[in-house]
Chain A
Amino acid sequence: MTKSSVSVTLSGVTKRFRNTKGRADTVAVHESDFVVAAGELVTLLGPSGCGKTTTLRMIAGFELPSAGRILIGSEDVTMLPPNKRDTATVFQSYGLFPHMSVADNVAYGLKLRKLPKEEIVRKVGETLKLVGLADYGDRAPGKLSGGQQQRVALARSLIVEPSVLLLDEPLSNLDALLREQMRVEIRRIQKSLGITAVYVTHDRVEAMSLSDRVIVMKDGEIKQIGTPSEIYEDPVSTFVAGFVGKVAFFPAEVTGGGPGDWECRLEGKSVRAARAAPGIGIGNSAVFMARPESLRLAESGEGVLEGRVRMNVYLGHSMECYVETKYGEVLVQIDDPISKRVYPEGGAVSVDFDHDRVRLLPTG
């Protein structure tokens, strides 16, 4: 990269859509505050309607915030139209220009910047090579496969060397295998160019595998910001916990202990938990959060929770054990199953917790 990358800062950004039919206004984004550091890839993750795409569009300039400020680097771009911001967007539907060839599509941004013809040709060649479409310059976009179209869209955005690359669910129109390949490609290119990027998706696997940090959103609000491991291991709410991975919840009551070693009551038994979300204190009711890999199976009566094995699914590297308990079906993941005891389907078992890995979350 010839340019040094910049940060993106949102402070107090709100987007309100006025409702003209007498109903209340829709608040798509509510007081978003976050900073994307220079060279970082941050993902906005959340279910449909959580405001992630709206936020991205505000950074790009296609929507005006109702309140708040957006800075790219140190420049306040809140009111700037999209063509005056140094951002480039890869759209979900790609938005390739159907009346131009692949090369012309990619060259479009450079032609606007009035670069000399030879340089444009050279750069287009380089960029197409970067995305693996070196010989596709003369093709019409309509004649390309989905993955190829996606790469043209990426090339078109990268070639203008934007300060910030914005990606709006770019992989959602691709099949699973292609998605995986492209995911790796995008991350590789982003890292090698060192470009600051904001990525939007509802797919947690994408988010976890691509990002330096993840911002989890719901109903227009940011629920948690953290690295993939922070989000996964230390979620702050049941929503975040459930959204980024399989998890089981149990109601519990905090009876003693402190940060690092909590003591709770679950099923009349005393259980220890090493971690807790902020806001947990003695006397609160809380939710015990346990990922499948932090649960173990034991003989009936020896563990914390009694249950019956409904189904065992052998996956080779692990086994998924579905156990019916009074709190519903719980998934227990058994790694390296060959070396472990297999509890037969229909048999009674009890579920035990790895107390270093389980976590207490606030209720609600």
Chain B
Amino acid sequence: MFTKRTTTKLIAAALVFAAFDYWIWHSLRDSFRKISDESRFKEIALFARAAPEDLSLVDGWLATLPDILPGSRAAFFLAGADGSVLDLSAAEDSVRAFWEAHSSEEAYARGLESAYYLEPYMVSGGAAIDFGDEKGPTSVGVYFAPIPDESGFNVRGAIMVMAPGIGAARFETLLLTLCLLAWAIFTVLYGVSVLSRDPVTGYGVIILFALALLFVAYPLFESVRLTFMKDGAFSLETWKTTFSSRYLVSLWGSVRLGIWTASFSTLIGFACAFLIERTSVGGKKFISTLATMPVISPPFSLTLSIILLFGNNGLITRRLLNLHDFSIYGIGGLVLVQTIGMFPIAFLTLSSVLKSIDSTVEDAALDLRASRPWTFLTITLPLAMPGVLSAWLLVFTNSLADFANPLLLAGSYRVLSVDSYIEVTGRNNLGGGAALSLLLLLPSLTAFFAQRYWVNRKSFVTVTGKPSTRLTELASPPVRIALTVFVGLCLAFIVALYGTIVAGCFVKNWGIDYSFTLANIGEALSRGAKAIRDTVILSAIAAPIAGFLAMAAALLIVRKSFVAKRLLEGFLMTPFAVPGTLVGISYVLAFNKPPFLLVGTAAIIAITYVIRELPVGLETGSASLRQIDPAIEEAAQDLGADVPTVFRTIVLPLLRPAFISTMSYTFVRSMTAVSAIIFLISARWYHLTVQIYNFSENLRFGLASVLATALIIIVLVAFGVMRLLVRDEGLTEKTVSM
């Protein structure tokens, strides 16, 4: 890499470009100055022509100068018949004082003289003058201009104008920054192409690092930094408040909720997984599809139907059972909703774990005269334990980060995610909100790392080898029936919940007037049209970007080696472990000031989508790549393809399934995002889930139901399309056996 030849090349190129850059900057700056000076002179000349004949009006006229040239002042010189200075009028003492101080200087004398010869004159270098206002010394350009009389050939007087070049200074700074930036970019790009054997990889790595630093490291850093500031100075105030009992209650609230949800979800998930993988129950595909449904459902929909059914005016609690004291709000309702929403995660994890435990070991135990329950307890369960722990931790992390459900259903039960939201939107305390979200990061990161690095390592399943195609009937008929009933009830309940949402679309005023109406649909779709459109557009933009970036990152990380590879991977995977509220708050903090003023734009929403889903895409892409025989890519290179061509002709086609699933996953998750988005929406770009929340908060449940149903339909269509496009998954599997 760093040989004498390449380093010399780089230094030489950098110097040459620097010289070229300097020349450009210099010329541009000078032309700009010339042009701005010329326009200045024109304005001053025009102003000078308007000088009144009557000397008493001069002061008034001078005072109008700031209207033309903001921030400027002038002095008026009256000429005598012989050209000598007779009088000096100035609107302000500071100007007069200035003249008196400088009148003897050559430049100024020449300036006045020049004016008397009908030539405008600019004092080079300008000057600094304190106008006496609070601004302090301002640097100004000093101009002398003649005041011609009617004939145009004689001079009545002259003016000296002092005009600050605020705009000019800003432009010059911008120009300088751009030129320096151009040089820096050129040097880096050229350096990469000369020093590395594989420049395209170099560029790719640099781009990814830039993205990771800008959109992951910087916002997090900013939010941490801000929690240590108050009124512009270092302060531990924010953290003291955060660690007060008030918020520690919320922390415990989040953790307690997480524990309950994770435990119930793992239980139900395990029951479903066991039923499908270890018994001969019928309709397995049906059960497994139903069990995965809640994954794709929008955040408020389950909460909505729970409220519709069990809320204060709920169909079941009020109408059917006539309870008046029962409140679904609080931890009970939350555990219910979260469990329903998150048990699919446990189910998917556990069913893949059970699938990969070879039934032969259970057969062996049964063969040795162990009873079925004993086999389960001593063989199946211990082998599945790492998976059980994994599932528990995954659901726990998800529950901690959950924002949408507690927002509607928590009641007086406090959780950190909602508290941080209230802190930001209600009390306008961004620092406090950030601190609370960071607090939430503690249990969240612990669980994430525990799952990834401790539980994963202890997995036994790989040892048992190829999964057998037969399954062992591990449950006696009574047990199987009991399980089926249990799972059936759960799933029926879920179906009922979804049914409620759909029903809610057609009910005029839930809880009060159950008459059928189609008016809700019309009203919701028209009021929510902008939200629907914005959300679909931005999700559709984010999806291919996330897909492409994830595949490129996977390729670089899996197949290439470069400096700080683990660090880049860490950066890109971090958003997965970070709660959505923290992402939203840090983005608001990081991007609400120049040069990265992105808050309120569509860009920041799309970027949030991409960054949040990149980790999963990266994992999917990496897994896919690892299955592709490296010899295939090497063969392409060997035949003459450079890295981008290999990517385009070989890797991308083989990554198609991973690419498409990342795209659809991004689309779906972006459509149903809440916790990060709620801080970033604006009047210009709105989001469907927030609209649903607004309707719910205003008790317009009918409208909320319509939008929730619309969202579910859009998501299902997206999934359907993906299923169609990824039908030929067999391609990558074949390469493994080659």
Contacts and interface: CB of A to CB of B under 8 A. Distances in A.
- Determine if chain A interacts with chain B: yes
Given A83-B642, A156-B639, A160-B640, A95 B634 contact: yes
Interface residues of B, number: 25
Contacts, number: 82
A93 B631 CA distance: 7
A89 B638 contact: yes
Interface string B614-639: 00000000000000010111111111
B1 to A, nearest CB: 10
Interface string A89-126: 10111111111000000001100110000000000000
A91 B198 CA distance: 22
B738 A81 contact: no
Contacts of B649: 108
B197 interface: yes
Contacts of B635: 89, 91, 95-97, 153, 156
A346 interface: no
A98 B640 contact: no
B634 A83 contact: no
A273 B143 CA distance: 110
Contacts of B734: 98, 142
A81 B197 CA distance: 7
A109 B641 CA distance: 8
B447 interface: no
A149 interface: yes
A111 to B, nearest CB: 9
A92 B637 contact: no
A96 B641 contact: no
A88 B634 contact: no
B694 interface: no
B456 interface: no
A62 interface: yes
A49 B372 CA distance: 49
A95 B632 contact: yes
A156 B641 CA distance: 14
Contacts of B197: 64, 79, 81
B556 to A, nearest CB: 16
Contacts of A244: none
A155 B698 CA distance: 71
A112 B634 contact: no
B640 A113 contact: yes
B645 interface: yes
Contacts of B634: 60, 62, 82, 89, 91, 95
A95 B738 CA distance: 8
Given A79-B197, A94-B738, A98-B654, A109 B632 contact: no
Q: Pick from B637, B650, B731 the residue with the most CB of A within 10 Å.
A: B637
A135 B464 CA distance: 43
A180 to B, nearest CB: 22
Interface string A56-86: 0000111010000000000000010111000
Given A81-B198, A98-B734, A112 B641 contact: yes
Contacts of B732: 98
A129 B642 CA distance: 29
A141 B738 CA distance: 9
Contacts of A157: 638-639
Nearest to B198: A81
A98 B632 contact: yes
A83 B649 CA distance: 14
Contacts of B650: 97
A83 B631 contact: no
A13 to B, nearest CB: 17
A67 to B, nearest CB: 14
Contacts of A112: 639-641, 645
Contacts of B645: 112
22 contacts: A60-B634, A64-B197, A83-B641, A87-B638, A88-B638, A93-B738, A95-B631, A95-B633, A95-B634, A96-B635, A96-B738, A97-B632, A97-B636, A97-B650, A98-B632, A98-B732, A98-B734, A98-B738, A112-B640, A141-B738, A156-B639, A160-B640
Lowest 6 A-B CB distances belong to which pairs?
A95-B631, A109-B639, A95-B635, A91-B631, A142-B734, A95-B632
